[in-house]
Structure 1
Amino acid sequence: MDLDMFFQGLKENLPDKAIDISESLELLKETINDTMEVIAAKVNEAILVRDLEKMKQYSGLVEQGHDYEVKIEEIIKILDVEELDVKEEVNENVDNKVIPNYDEYTVDNNVEHSLYENFTHIRPFGFKINNSRLIQGTTWQEVLIKTSEILFNKDRTKFFSFESNKNMNGKKNKYFCCKTEGIRKPELVANSIYIETNMSGNAIRNLIIKMLKQYGIKLSDYKVYFRADYSSLNK
């Protein structure tokens, strides 16, 4: 079985796993892109000092990195998970006793987490940007909306530009739009622009990473805090 058939089979039979893989690959692609930018800077440094050996080494890394980027993008296209609905991983309706012993799944909400972590089966408590005050958000959708509002107020022109920026939208669907058309589950940001919220925690993580990069904010300056971890319920 070749990769095309394997990933197509996953999409048809295990769509939740196809989504997990696609979102993980999106994060890997962004990380490789960051690495390529660092390598490019190193190439320029080597050129300035005429270090030909380093130039060759870094050029080789650039070529390899590009090959990996292309392959990752090919797999993401094969998976094509945008048309799949994102289902709530865990129903927190305690009154209906969907979650037994809720307290067993709570975690220390004072512990900082980064955007490089896996958010599957995790529920947020809040986030901080640039060591600002804690902004509470009990769902990843709420975290996305509140993050978007902060960035919008920082530079609304840049935020509006996301609508026409291909890198900030899906392959088929819009993630940002001044109208609700083309967005599955739109939420209004700052009474000005709609954003897609039909996303899993990891997909929201990936979108926040892209937004922060557009604003020149270091990913290390964005801290996330968890309130519950339901991973053990999904083993």
Structure 2
Amino acid sequence: MNLDNLFLRIKEEFPKNAIEIKECLMLLSESIDSAMSDIQKASDAAYKDRNFDRIEELTQVARSVNGVQGNIDKYISDLELEDVKEEVEVIKQQEQEQQLENRKLPNYSDYIVDGNIPYGLYEDFTHKCPAAFSILGTKIEARQWKDVLLLTCQVLAKKDTQRFLGFAADPTMQGKKVNYFSKNTEKMRKPVKLDNTDVYIETNMSSNQIRNVIAKILRKYDVKITDYNVFLRADYTALHE
């Protein structure tokens, strides 16, 4: 069975897994975008030095990387669910996490994790609850994933307001079906307006979707993904096994 047929089968029979695979591929594609930007910078430097052999070498690398990204983007499209199905899966995950938060578990301490351990954005955050995140050397408390997203935007918007305002008109900062940033709420599910701006942010997303959007934001601000960390307070993965 080739990958095209495999992803089609997964999408039809296991929509939850299709979303998870798609989210991982989206993060990979975002990382490849970052690599392409670095290749471009290296190529520009080589041009200034008139190092044409280096330019040719980097062009070949860029061509190969672009081909890989093209395949990944195709797989992402293959795994796209219908709007209703995807929203149902996202809402289902959010409801499960909220129910766990509201339940008084007799052994709640079994699911508490060390809140001082930093996790990078390459982690899978399904069924995990945040305690805080760190960016630009500052640690900020956030107990819900939507707050991690909103507060990250708040920090970076203060750093460069015009860059953030530009997200609303930037197609690379939008989802295929839903706008992540917009000045109107027409193509948004659960928008929240960021303080002191006229931009709305989509908050009806899974933890991993939020992770991917944050990765996009960081790249726009030239902040390395590895310079951003999340701190967790609970991990309920065992309850879903």
- Determine if the TM-score, normalized by the shorter chain, exceeds 0.5: yes
Say which structure is richer in helix.
2
| Cα deviations by residue, 1:102-161 (Å, 9 ceiling, x for unpaired) | 1111111111222222212221101121112x2111111111111112222223322221
Following superposition, the deviation at residue 92 of structure 1 comes to: 4.5
Q: Do residues 175 (structure 1) and 180 (structure 2) align?
A: yes
Q: Do residues 28 (structure 1) and 28 (structure 2) align?
A: yes
Following superposition, the deviation at residue 38 of structure 1 comes to: 2.6
Following superposition, the deviation at residue 208 of structure 1 comes to: 0.8
Partner of 2:16: 16
CA pair 122-95 structure 1, distance change in 2 beyond 3 A? closer
Q: Do residues 110 (structure 1) and 116 (structure 2) align?
A: yes
Partner of 2:190: 185
Query: Percent identity between the aligned chains?
Result: 38
Q: For 1:80, what is the secondary structure of its paired residue?
A: coil
C-alpha distance in structure 2 between counterparts of 1:181 and 1:157, whole Å? 23
List aligned pairs for 1:41-120, cutoff 5 A. 41-46=41-46, 48=49, 50=51, 52=53, 54-81=54-81, 83=83, 84-85=86-87, 86=90, 87-88=93-94, 89-93=96-100, 96-97=103-104, 99-120=105-126
Equivalent AA in structure 2 for residue 217 of structure 1: V
C-alpha distance in structure 1 between counterparts of 2:164 and 2:129, whole Å? 26
Q: For 2:9, what is the secondary structure of its paired residue?
A: helix
CA pair 153-81 structure 1, distance change in 2 beyond 3 A? farther
Match of 1:199 among 201, 205, 211: 205
CA pair 45-176 structure 1, distance change in 2 beyond 3 A? closer
TM-score, structure 1 length as denominator? Answer: 0.88
Q: Do residues 145 (structure 1) and 150 (structure 2) align?
A: yes
Structure 1 spans left out of the alignment, 5+ residues: none
Structure 2 spans left out of the alignment, 5+ residues: none
Q: For 1:90, what is the secondary structure of its paired residue?
A: helix
TM-score, structure 2 length as denominator? Answer: 0.86
C-alpha distance in structure 1 between counterparts of 2:168 and 2:113, whole Å? 36
